[in-house]
Structure 1
Amino acid sequence: MRVTPRVWIGLAVWAGYVLIILVVSLMSGVPFTDIGTSADSTWRGAVLDLAVGAVFLIIVTAALGWWRPALTERRRSRHRWPIFVPILMLVGVLINVVTTDWSQFDASFLLSLAALGILVGFNEELMARGLLLTGLRPQVREAWVWFITSALFGGMHLINALLGAPLGGALAQAGLAFASGTAFYIVRRVTGSLIGAMVLHGLWDVSVFASGHAPLGPALGSLLGPIVGVLALATVYWVIKGTDERPVLT
């Protein structure tokens, strides 16, 4: 690592990323409630700011020399069974996929959703459970690492209220994001890699947008979200127990 991890660095990366997303989103002029309703609104209202955010995160990660600790655990969790929680989330993704009328999406719309999924999974996981987590670990106990990364991941969704989302909806989304972030943290700890969390995160968001835009019936897959969140909070202790992922500084 070129730069020794510190809490303030992780927090600065989080704040910088959130500011970039907010500013670029405001400049796009697309209200949050319009994102995912058309190809144009998705490209301009979501993909654009995520692309700028991705460039920022790639440059910062390379400059810090944090790719390895951001993407991998030194030791996986001894308790593997909590992986059933993110697997249930994957079931929700599959349900969303089969209950979506894909004939209502043209090629550009599908490409925008694919870009959205790739970028949101990469960006938000690298930022929260990658760089922020790496910055916290040398100075903070792992239970607080989980809590702070999940809380700030949830908190960043409050900016949606500034982008046109109802405040109540933004608050609810922040709470759900805290819980779903816990599920993504479980993926990292159990598999030993952030890649699985990136993939699951991207698939979940795309499936929710798609099923919300063109549902074939009740959004049963999305209804699993709160259930997954409760189960994640109930089981996260077991992947934290015995963890010592403080980076070896050289």
Structure 2
Amino acid sequence: MRVTPRAWIGFAIWAGYVLVIISVTLLSGVPYPDIGTSAESTWRGAVLDLAVGGALLAILATVLGWWRPALFERTRAHHKWPIFVPIIMFIAAIMNIFNTDWAQFDASFLLSLLALGVLVGFSEELMARGLVLTSFRARFAEGWAWFLSSLLFGLMHLANAVLGAPLLASLAQAGLAFASGTAFYIVRRVTGSLVWAMLLHGLWDVSVFAVGHAPVSAALGSILGPVVGILALAVVYWVIKGADERPVTTTPTANPAVA
């Protein structure tokens, strides 16, 4: 690592990312409720800010030298069975996809959703359960590192109220994001890699936006979202137990003096 992780760096990364997302989205002129209703609103209101935020995070990870701790665990969770919760989330996403009337999407709209999925998975996971988690692990025990990184991930969604979403809906989304973020944390701990969490996160968001725009029937998959969150909070203890992922830094040692 070029820079030793510190907790304050995590808070600064989170604040900076949220500021970038809000600023770029406001400049796009697309209110949050309109995102996902058309190709143009998705490109301008979601893909653009995620692309800018993701690019800045990638540069930051390179400058800090944190790619490895941000993307990979040193040791996977001792208990693997909590992975059933993210599996339910995956199944719910697939249900959403099959419950979507894809005939209502033209090529540009489909491409915007694909770009949204890739970028939201990469950017938000690299921020919350990548760089921020790495920072917090340098200062806090794993339980607190999980809690604080998931809390900030949830609070990040309050920015939607600034972008035009109703405050109560944003508060509910923040709570759900805290819980669903815990499911992504479980994926990281059990598989040992943030990449799988990125993929699941991207798939979930695409499925929710798609079925929200063109549902064939009642979106049963989306109803499972709160259930997944509750289950994730109920089992997260078992992937935290025994974890020691504090960043390992090396201090250069002086060469022996030559006689």
TM-score by length of 1: 1.00
Question: For the residues of structure 2 that align with 1:247 and 1:29, how far apart are their CA atoms?
Answer: 40
Aligned to 2:253: none
Aligned to 2:245: 245
**Residue correspondence of structure 1 range 92-131 to structure 2 within 5 A:** 92-131=92-131
**Residue correspondence of structure 1 range 132-211 to structure 2 within 5 A:** 132-211=132-211
Q: Deviations over 1:113-145 (max 9, x none)?
A: 000000000000000000000001111011000
Question: For the residues of structure 1 that align with 2:106 and 2:243, how far apart are their CA atoms?
Answer: 47
Aligned amino acid, residue 123 of structure 1: S
Which has the greater radius of gyration?
2
Question: For the residues of structure 1 that align with 2:138 and 2:4, how far apart are their CA atoms?
Answer: 9
**Residue correspondence of structure 1 range 41-56 to structure 2 within 5 A:** 41-56=41-56
Aligned amino acid, residue 36 of structure 1: G
Alpha-carbon RMSD across the aligned residues, in angstroms, is: 0.4
Aligned amino acid, residue 51 of structure 2: A
- 3-state secondary structure, aligned to 1:5: coil
Shift of 1:248: 1.2
Q: Structure 2 unaligned segments of length 5 or more: list them.
A: 251-259
Q: Deviations over 1:179-206 (max 9, x none)?
A: 0000000000000000000000000000
Question: For the residues of structure 2 that align with 1:139 and 1:179, how far apart are their CA atoms?
Answer: 23
Aligned to 2:9: 9
Question: For the residues of structure 1 that align with 2:247 and 2:61, how far apart are their CA atoms?
Answer: 15
Question: For the residues of structure 2 that align with 1:166 and 1:97, how far apart are their CA atoms?
Answer: 26
Paired residue total: 250
Question: For the residues of structure 2 that align with 1:122 and 1:116, how far apart are their CA atoms?
Answer: 10
Aligned to 2:255: none
- 3-state secondary structure, aligned to 2:87: helix
Question: For the residues of structure 1 that align with 2:147 and 2:174, how far apart are their CA atoms?
Answer: 14
Aligned amino acid, residue 189 of structure 2: R
Question: For the residues of structure 1 that align with 2:153 and 2:219, how far apart are their CA atoms?
Answer: 24
Q: Structure 1 unaligned segments of length 5 or more: list them.
A: none
Aligned to 2:66: 66
Residue 32 (1) aligns with residue 6 (2): no
Question: For the residues of structure 1 that align with 2:247 and 2:166, how far apart are their CA atoms?
Answer: 41
Question: For the residues of structure 1 that align with 2:82 and 2:3, how far apart are their CA atoms?
Answer: 33
Residue range with higher mean Cα deviation, 81-90 or 10-19: 10-19
The ranges of structure 1 where at least 4 consecutive aligned residues each deviate by more than 4 angstroms after the TM superposition are none
Q: Deviations over 1:132-165 (max 9, x none)?
A: 0000111101100010010000000000000000
Question: For the residues of structure 1 that align with 2:244 and 2:231, how far apart are their CA atoms?
Answer: 24
Aligned to 2:256: none
Matched-pair identity in %: 72
Q: Deviations over 1:202-233 (max 9, x none)?
A: 00000000000000000100000000000000
Question: For the residues of structure 2 that align with 1:171 and 1:51, how far apart are their CA atoms?
Answer: 25
Question: For the residues of structure 1 that align with 2:85 and 2:75, how far apart are their CA atoms?
Answer: 20
Question: For the residues of structure 2 that align with 1:100 and 1:27, how far apart are their CA atoms?
Answer: 31
Q: Deviations over 1:60-94 (max 9, x none)?
A: 00000000000000000000000000000000011
Question: For the residues of structure 1 that align with 2:227 and 2:221, how far apart are their CA atoms?
Answer: 11
Question: For the residues of structure 1 that align with 2:40 and 2:209, how far apart are their CA atoms?
Answer: 14
